[in-house]
């Protein structure tokens, strides 16, 4: 095994002595499958590691911790919505004056929680936690690369993210409260500390944190792109890449092109806040004073924000869709239906996602003609989305379906994607958006199609690749309970919100008591909150299953799901460099499941036609490497069996 | 440990676990259906303690139940089969519930639109709802069927079949056609709604501020007076430039009155941060942007009286709300909206006093401020509260709002 400190270049050459170290016993139950890695100090191995697998796990665990924070915030503000008169004095020790002495939550604190929930879930959990984890983990493994193009930059990417997480988290505890103007931080509200207390230090920290976050995500994305374009193993043409790779690749491209725009939006906001410029501010009288600012436009910020904001929702979703394609195909034991159409629709979505942003702004007073254009473009994007759905269904058709945990979550994703996606057709229609904009209808839409669907993709990915990540298995039965609780909770929480939207109930309302037209949802709000709490309980089962089995789970076999992709050819506990010996070459696409003429219902990518029968006879113990003529490549013992 | 004993213990743990797991949702729903104050608090506290215990317990128990290697009590269950069946039940029951509750909650939805364009929007909404519901139902039925029909069987092998350009083309073109229809419909309506307002429209200016709406009518000369945000003060809410005579007859009432069947042009502005004018019953929404006046025009076609009869609710009122988050009082930026006949409207307008105060007397100022209730230091929900408390029906609101007001005045 190549030494930890080697540069990628050196890792590429094979080290015979190292290889012999890794050659060991057969049989799944042996307790010492571990590689004998050369001594690497703990800090280099687990903390400032440049190994993409370790970095992926760092992203994963940070993401999971942030998810716990984000979900807890939502439970808290859901309690406020469900039982507005409920006495929360017992939270005073934790939240101090955000809870009044009579036990009432401060309306600004409510907004703060909504804001932080949104920010944390969208950026820290579903962007970094999801794409950061799986892009890092799978890109080198599925492409047949030793590591990312630059392990060092990859490490930086994590640590920028970590720093950004710490700042965002810390902002929850400052006395003026965290940013509170919604996750979209529209100025002037977010620009003026006079407007709300969260727009003071809290907003500064939000902007600092997001700037670091953007740096992190750019470093990551550039690395992913470079790796996908340059470091595919022999035979891995672009069209032989698993759909996961296409999804991660395009996600990275979208991120690279759109995040800088958010960066500039944030930068200009920082200028307006701290240096007296007027990019977004004009004609403002607030807190008894007329401000000097003149000539700026709040609408400009919205254009810049949504130029990232809309692509961002696909940055969140595409990785989930990619992993789902892989998992559905594997567990239906059937090739993905319409590979080309899937790639095409990914490309279509990636392209179109840049030219629909103003559908978030139909009623901001922008030129109505723009509304027409963006309505047209927005509804076009529904076509590739529909194509993807139909292809998923067609993949299930005539399959032989195994309901692994990952498969259940993937099927759940398909359902959520449909249910949440169709409401986009309402919202994309500028005229219909007039009554629906900024109501619970929108909340229902994006929580189903983005929040829940991507979370399901995340879970599917964790269950599916956990054995590869930790060399152990998660408990399937706990997984079933987790899935059914989550699936039920998600629908119970978000589906009723459509009804509230149709009643016109606006988002981000601290209480529904002021207006006649928002009354009548007391029971429904309680129902939603209870469902959310039960859903949270379900996540505790996941947490337990996850953390317990990192240490105590059953040892994972070499290829637990009988999958075709390259990551399952690495040793169960692969070290830095991934493959002990030579990197396998690739001779086919990744979806040869149940191929006629092959006895097994799978046929890995690295098996050449000439070696099929040899491999087929005994896939478990078959040798890893074959040349094109089907001869075993003997002198590289490779990963065992 | 003796094997029998061990599985005995397991059994006991299992019943306990089931008990706790079943009891929990029951308790939770009990807490939910209880809307009274004290008993609910008690329940909630109990629930929280119980939650904690349950979590700790059930995690351990679950582990024991599911991780037993020697005597797995569930070893005879075919989980693949079980999951397939639950999925079928889940989707089927889910669809039924969704359909049932869509109708069940109909009384809570906004009533038929009270404006001309709103009725068009409603039509389009219903068409879109119909199409998307069919799509959701059919795709889910397919999903349900496939999941069950093609669940794992040792004796079967999946079909190696992965491309069909004709099918692919079909399901690209079909949604494209449906969407084209919707886009065309949408464009038609959107353009109609957004076309320039008719000359004779009644102009009403709405200015959002933290946390109230200022309402302004042009007065007898039909011309709004000039304003300048630098002249705003507690006595001059909108920053009237009194050098401009046309402002002296402008009125700023506390409620919005609109004549029925007349085009209304809302001129929308904001003083401090973004707000958004939202008139749900008229399907009207438009952001209020500081430094950039916006507008929306529409034609109300049902008077408040008619709506009261129609909905059989004599307390019905049209309302103006804010839908762009603007700070702590965002949820309480309410104004009443009254739609009346042309004669009633004229009569109401005649009774309104101008906002302008002559320099000699300070009396009109008082009147003006009172009538708008928008003294800049005022508690935002003041007006809202006044109008609500008139209708004692909505008693629920009172207490919460008082507490909310406490907060609002905290800072
Ligand atoms: C079928 C295609 C889709 C269409 C036509 C569509 C359309 C829209 C429109 C028009 C809005 C703005 C609604 C409003 O604020 O009034 C919106 C909001 C949103 N959509 Fe979609 N959408 C689609 C799919 C998706 C997908 C796939 C995602 C995420 C993966 C997504 C995530 C969001 C989010 C996060 C928001 C709300 C942002 C906010 O205001 O906080 N949408 N969608
Ligand atoms: Cu969007
Ligand atoms: Cu507001």
Chain A contact present for B60, CB below 8 A = no
Q: Establish, for the pair of chains A and B, how many residue pairs have beta carbons separated by less than 8 Å.
A: 418
DSSP letter assigned to residue A132:
I
pLDDT attached to residue B3: 46
Sequence-separated (6 or more) residues with CB below 8 Å from residue A173 = none
Q: Measuring from atom 2 of ligand 1, which residue has the nearest CA?
A: A382
Sequence-separated (6 or more) residues with CB below 8 Å from residue A211 = A164, A263, A266, A267
Chain B contact present for A547, CB below 8 A = no
B174-201: string of b/e by CB count within 10 Å (b at 16+)? ebbebbeebbebbbebbeebbeebeeeb
- Dihedral angle at the C-alpha atoms of B140, B144, B146, B152, nearest 10 degrees? 140
Contact at 8 Å (CB) between A597 and A18? no
Nearest-CA distance from A637 to chain B in Å?
Answer: 33
Share of chain B above pLDDT 70, in %: 73
pLDDT attached to residue B64: 55
Residue A310 pLDDT exceeds 70: yes
Q: What is the mean pLDDT of residues B229-235?
A: 90
Nearest-CA distance from A104 to chain B in Å?
Answer: 7
Give me the residues paired with residue B240 across strands: B227
Q: Report the alpha-carbon distance of residue B142 to residue B145 in Å, rounded.
A: 5
Q: How many CA atoms lie within 13 A of A572 on its CB side?
A: 25
Give me the residues paired with residue A506 across strands: A439
| Segment (H or E) for A346 | helix A339-352
Chain A contact present for B166, CB below 8 A = no
Chain A contact present for B84, CB below 8 A = yes
pLDDT attached to residue B11: 45
The per-residue DSSP string of B104-164 comes to: HTGGGSPPS-SBHHHHHHHHHHHHHHHHHHHHHHHHHHHHHHHHHHTB--TT---------
Q: Does B100 sit behind a cis peptide bond, omega within 30 degrees of 0 on the bond before it?
A: no
Quick one: which atom of ligand 1 is closest to the CA of A317?
30
Best probe residue, ligand 1, of A247, A310, A360 (max atoms within 8 Å of C-beta): A360
Quick one: which atom of ligand 1 is closest to the CA of A427?
10
Among B105, B289, B400, the residue with its CB nearest the CB of A513 is B400
pLDDT attached to residue B71: 67
A422 contacts B136? CB cut-off 8 A = yes
B124 contacts A429? CB cut-off 8 A = yes
pLDDT attached to residue A88: 86
Structure tokens at A57: 């796990």
What's the mean per-residue pLDDT of chain A?
89
Find the range with the poorest average confidence among A49-53, A56-60, B95-99, B205-209. A49-53
Q: Which of A173, A178, A253, A188 is nearest to A210 (CA)?
A: A178
pTM of the model: 0.87
Residue B387 pLDDT exceeds 70: no
DSSP letter assigned to residue A27:
S
Contact residues, chain B, for A383 at CB < 8 Å = 172, 175-176, 179
Residue A598 pLDDT exceeds 70: yes
pLDDT-derived band at A624 (thresholds 50, 70, 90) equals confident
B163 contacts A339? CB cut-off 8 A = yes
Q: Report the alpha-carbon distance of residue A54 to residue A60 in Å, rounded.
A: 10
Report pLDDT digits (tens) over A381-422.
999 999 999 999 999 999 999 999 999 999 999 999 999 999
Residue B384 pLDDT exceeds 70: no
- The residue in chain B having the minimum alpha-carbon distance to the alpha carbon of residue A288 is B233
A1, A77, A148, A556, A567 from A583: Cα distances, Å: 13, 51, 14, 21, 11
pLDDT-derived band at B305 (thresholds 50, 70, 90) equals very high
Structure tokens at A625: 């490497």
Residue A427 pLDDT exceeds 70: yes
pLDDT attached to residue B40: 59
Q: Which of A547, A214, A435 is nearest to B128 (CA)?
A: A435
Q: Between A635 and A128, where is the model more confident?
A: A128
SS3 A105: strand
A596 contacts B109? CB cut-off 8 A = no
A341 contacts B94? CB cut-off 8 A = no
Choose the CATH number for B202-351 among 1.10.599.10, 3.90.1150.10, 3.40.50.300, 2.60.40.420: 2.60.40.420
Structure tokens at B44: 């909630």
- Judged by its nearest atom, the ligand closest to the C-alpha of residue A441 is 1
Q: Between B388 and A351, where is the model more confident?
A: A351
Residue tagged 């929680």 (tokens):
A113
B81, B117, B242 from B361: Cα distances, Å: 86, 46, 15
- The residue in chain A having the minimum alpha-carbon distance to the alpha carbon of residue B187 is A372
Q: How many CA atoms lie within 13 A of A534 on its CB side?
A: 28
A534 contacts B28? CB cut-off 8 A = yes
Tally Cβ neighbours within 10 Å of residue B4.
9
> What CATH number was assigned to the domain covering residues A52-552?
1.20.210.10
Give me the residues paired with residue A370 across strands: none
The per-residue DSSP string of A592-620 comes to: --S-TT-SSS---TT--GGGHHHHHH-TT
Residue A595 pLDDT exceeds 50: yes
Tally Cβ neighbours within 10 Å of residue B368.
22
Contact residues, chain B, for A108 at CB < 8 Å = 327-328, 407, 411
Residue A374 pLDDT exceeds 50: yes
What's the mean per-residue pLDDT of chain B?
80
Residues 298-337 of chain B with CB under 8 A from chain A are 315-317, 319, 321-332, 334
A382 contacts B175? CB cut-off 8 A = yes
pLDDT attached to residue A622: 63
C-alpha of A356 from chain center: 21
What is chain B's percent helix, strand, coil content, to nearest 5?
A: 55, 15, 30
pLDDT attached to residue A626: 83
Q: Report the alpha-carbon distance of residue A504 to residue A510 in Å, rounded.
A: 15
Q: What is the mean pLDDT of residues A552-579?
A: 91
Residue B22 pLDDT exceeds 60: no
- Dihedral angle at the C-alpha atoms of B380, B386, B391, B397, nearest 10 degrees? 30
Kindly list the protein residues whose Cβ atom lies closer than 6 A to any atom of ligand 1: A 184, 313-314, 316-317, 359-360, 378, 381-382, 385, 421, 424-425, 427-428, 433, 436-437, 442, 445-446, 449-450
Among A295, A425, A434, the residue with its CB nearest the CB of B128 is A425
Contact at 8 Å (CB) between B304 and B259? no
Chain B contact present for A526, CB below 8 A = yes
Tally Cβ neighbours within 10 Å of residue B301.
18
B171 contacts A517? CB cut-off 8 A = no
- The residue in chain B having the minimum alpha-carbon distance to the alpha carbon of residue A87 is B41
pLDDT-derived band at B356 (thresholds 50, 70, 90) equals confident
Q: Report the alpha-carbon distance of residue B342 to residue B330 in Å, rounded.
A: 33
Phi-psi map region of A403: left, alpha, beta (phi>0 left; psi -120 to 50 alpha): beta
Residues 602-641 of chain A with CB under 8 A from chain B are none
Ligand 1 geometric centre to CA of B132 (Å): 16
Tally Cβ neighbours within 10 Å of residue B371.
18
**In A53-172, where do the E strands start and end?**
none
Residue A43 pLDDT exceeds 50: yes
pLDDT attached to residue A96: 81
Report pLDDT digits (tens) over B151-202.
999 999 999 999 999 999 999 999 999 999 999 999 999 999 999 999 999 9
Residues 336-375 of chain B with CB under 8 A from chain A are none
Q: What is the ipTM of this complex?
A: 0.89
Nearest-CA distance from B86 to chain A in Å?
Answer: 9
Sequence-separated (6 or more) residues with CB below 8 Å from residue B133 = none
Contact residues, chain B, for A419 at CB < 8 Å = 136
Among B28, B118, B163, the residue with its CB nearest the CB of A533 is B28
Residue B31 pLDDT exceeds 90: no
Q: What is the mean pLDDT of residues A177-206?
A: 94
DSSP letter assigned to residue A173:
G
Contact residues, chain B, for A197 at CB < 8 Å = 411
Find the range with the poorest average confidence among A5-9, A478-482, B17-21, B224-228. A5-9
Contact at 8 Å (CB) between A538 and A481? yes
Residue B338 pLDDT exceeds 50: yes
Strand order in the sheet with B202-209: B212-217, B202-209, B264-270, B294-298
Q: What residue segments make up the domains of chain A, in order of their start?
A: 2-40, 52-552
Counting Cβ atoms within 10 Å, is residue A226 exposed (0-12), middle (13-18) or buried (19+)? middle
Contact at 8 Å (CB) between B318 and B304? yes
Residue B332 pLDDT exceeds 50: yes
Long-range own/partner contacts, residues A346-349 (CB < 8 A, 24 or more apart) = A346/A243, A346/A246, A346/A247, A346/A250, A346/A318, A346/A321, A346/A322, A346/A384, A347/A250, A348/A381, A348/A383, A348/A384, A349/A250, A349/A314, A349/A318, A349/A381, A349/A384, A349/A385
Contact residues, chain A, for B99 at CB < 8 Å = none
pLDDT attached to residue B235: 87
Among A85, A189, A596, the residue with its CB nearest the CB of B327 is A189
Q: Report the alpha-carbon distance of residue A100 to residue B400 in Å, rounded.
A: 13
pLDDT attached to residue A633: 76
Residue of B317, B324, B338, B398 for testing the chain A interface, max A β-carbons within 10 Å: B324
**Angle of helix A368-396 relative to helix B116-149, nearest 10 degrees?**
20
Q: Which of A555-564, B12-21, B33-42, B349-358 has the highest mean pLDDT?
A: A555-564
Q: Which of B334, B213, B209, B214 is nearest to B274 (CA)?
A: B209
Q: Report the alpha-carbon distance of residue A453 to residue A457 in Å, rounded.
A: 6
Sequence-separated (6 or more) residues with CB below 8 Å from residue A444 = A420, A423, A494, A495, A497, A498, A500, A501
Q: What residue segments make up the domains of chain B, in order of their start?
A: 2-69, 79-154+161-193, 202-351, 360-410
Residue B273 pLDDT exceeds 50: yes
Q: Between B73 and B187, where is the model more confident?
A: B187
């Amino acid at each position: 095994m190549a030494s930890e400190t080697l540069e990628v270049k050196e890792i590429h050459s094979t080290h015979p002595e190292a290889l012999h170290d890794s050659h060991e016993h057969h049989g799944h139950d042996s307790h010492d499958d571990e590689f004998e890695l050369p001594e690497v100090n703990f800090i280099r191995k687990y903390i400032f590691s440049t190994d993409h697998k370790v970095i992926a796990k760092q992203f994963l665990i940070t993401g999971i911790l942030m998810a716990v924070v984000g979900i807890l915030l939502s439970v808290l503000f859901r309690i406020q919505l469900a039982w507005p008169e409920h006495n929360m004095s017992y939270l005073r020790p934790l939240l101090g004056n955000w809870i009044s002495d009579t036990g009432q939550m401060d309306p600004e604190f409510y907004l703060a929680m909504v804001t932080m929930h949104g920010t944390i879930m969208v950026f820290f959990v579903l962007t970094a936690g999801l794409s950061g984890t799986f892009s890092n983990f799978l890109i080198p493994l599925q492409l047949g690369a030793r590591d990312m193009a630059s392990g060092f930059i990859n490490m930086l990417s994590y640590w920028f993210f970590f720093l950004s997480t710490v700042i965002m988290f810390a902002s929850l505890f400052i006395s003026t409260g965290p940013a509170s103007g919604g996750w979209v931080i529209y100025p002037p509200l977010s620009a003026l500390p006079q407007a709300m207390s969260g727009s003071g230090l809290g907003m500064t920290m939000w902007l600092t944190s997001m700037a670091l976050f953007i740096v992190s995500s750019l470093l990551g994305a550039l690395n992913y792109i470079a790796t996908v374009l340059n470091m595919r193993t022999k035979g891995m043409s672009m069209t032989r890449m698993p759909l996961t790779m296409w999804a991660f690749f395009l996600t990275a491209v979208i991120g690279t092109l759109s995040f800088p725009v958010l960066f500039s939006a944030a930068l200009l906001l920082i200028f307006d806040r701290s240096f007296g410029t007027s990019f977004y501010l004009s004609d403002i009288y607030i807190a008894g004073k007329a401000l000097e600012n003149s000539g700026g436009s709040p609408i400009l910020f919205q254009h810049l924000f949504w130029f990232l904001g809309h692509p961002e929702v696909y940055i969140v979703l595409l990785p989930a869709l990619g992993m789902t394609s892989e998992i559905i195909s594997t567990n239906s034991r059937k090739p993905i239906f319409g590979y080309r159409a899937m790639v095409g629709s990914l490309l279509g979505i990636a392209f179109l996602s840049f030219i629909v942003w103003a559908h978030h702004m139909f009623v901001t007073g922008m030129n109505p003609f723009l509304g027409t254009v963006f309505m047209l473009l927005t509804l076009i994007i529904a076509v590739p989305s529909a194509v993807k759905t139909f292809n998923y269904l067609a993949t299930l058709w005539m399959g032989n379906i195994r309901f692994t945990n990952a498969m259940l979550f993937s099927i759940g994703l398909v359902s959520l994607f449909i249910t949440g996606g169709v409401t986009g057709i309402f919202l994309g229609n500028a005229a219909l958006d007039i009554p629906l904009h900024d109501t619970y209808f929108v909340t229902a839409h994006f929580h189903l199609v983005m929040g829940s669907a991507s979370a399901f993709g995340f879970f599917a990915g964790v269950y599916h690749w956990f054995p590869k990540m930790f060399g152990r298995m998660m408990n399937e039965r706990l997984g079933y309970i987790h899935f059914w609780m989550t699936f039920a909770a998600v629908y119970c929480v978000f589906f009723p919100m459509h009804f509230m939207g149709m009643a016109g109930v606006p988002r981000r309302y601290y209480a529904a008591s002021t207006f006649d037209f928002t009354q009548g949802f007391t029971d429904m709000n309680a129902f939603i909150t209870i469902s959310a709490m039960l859903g949270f309980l379900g996540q505790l089962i996941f947490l337990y299953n996850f953390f317990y089995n990192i240490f105590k789970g059953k040892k994972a076999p070499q290829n637990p799901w009988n999958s075709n992709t390259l990551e399952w050819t690495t040793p169960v506990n692969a070290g830095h460099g991934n493959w002990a010996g030579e990197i396998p070459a690739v001779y086919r696409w990744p979806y040869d499941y149940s191929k006629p003429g092959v006895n097994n219902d799978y046929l890995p990518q690295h098996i050449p036609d000439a070696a099929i029968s040899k491999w087929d006879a005994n896939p478990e113990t078959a040798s890893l490497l074959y040349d094109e003529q089907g001869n075993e490549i003997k002198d590289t013992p490779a990963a065992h069996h | 440990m003796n094997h029998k004993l061990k599985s005995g213990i397991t059994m006991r743990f299992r019943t306990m676990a089931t008990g706790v797991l079943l009891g929990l949702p029951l308790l939770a729903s009990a807490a939910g259906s209880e809307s009274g104050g004290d008993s609910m608090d008690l329940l909630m506290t109990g629930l929280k303690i119980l939650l904690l215990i349950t979590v700790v317990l059930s995690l351990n128990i679950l582990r024991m139940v599911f991780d037993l290697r020697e005597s797995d009590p569930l070893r005879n269950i075919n989980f693949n089969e079980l999951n397939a069946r639950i999925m079928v039940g889940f989707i089927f029951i889910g669809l039924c519930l969704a359909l049932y509750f869509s109708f069940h909650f109909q009384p809570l939805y906004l009533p038929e639109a009270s404006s001309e364009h709103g009725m068009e929007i409603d039509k389009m909404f219903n068409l879109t709802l119909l199409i998307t519901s069919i799509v959701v139902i059919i795709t889910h039925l397919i999903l349900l069927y496939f999941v069950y029909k093609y669940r794992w069987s040792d004796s079967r092998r999946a079909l190696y079949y992965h491309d069909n350009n004709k099918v692919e083309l079909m399901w690209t073109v079909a949604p494209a056609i449906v969407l084209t229809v919707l886009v065309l419909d949408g464009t038609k309506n959107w353009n109609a709604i957004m076309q320039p307002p008719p000359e004779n429209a009644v102009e009403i200016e709405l200015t959002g501020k933290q946390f109230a709406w200022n309402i302004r009518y042009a007065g007898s000369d039909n011309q709004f007076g000039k304003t300048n945000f630098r002249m705003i003060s507690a006595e001059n809410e909108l920053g009237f430039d009194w050098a401009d005579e046309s402002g002296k007859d402008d009125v700023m009432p506390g409620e919005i009155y609109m004549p029925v069947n007349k085009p209304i042009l809302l001129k929308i502005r904001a003083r401090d941060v973004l707000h958004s004018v939202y008139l749900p019953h008229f399907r009207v929404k438009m952001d209020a942007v500081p430094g950039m006046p916006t507008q929306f025009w529409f034609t109300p076609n049902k008077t408040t009286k008619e709506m009261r009869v129609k909905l059989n609710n004599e307390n019905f009122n049209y309302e103006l709300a804010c839908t762009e988050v603007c700070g702590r009082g965002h949820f309480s930026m309410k104004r009443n909206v009254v739609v009346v006949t042309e004669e009633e409207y004229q009569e109401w307008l005649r009774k309104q006093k101008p906002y302008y105060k002559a320099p000699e007397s300070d009396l009109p100022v008082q009147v003006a401020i009172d009538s708008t209730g928008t003294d800049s230091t005022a508690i935002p929900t003041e007006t809202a509260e006044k109008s609500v408390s008139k209708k004692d029906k909505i008693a629920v609101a009172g207490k919460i709002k008082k507490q909310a007001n406490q907060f609002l005045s905290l800072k």
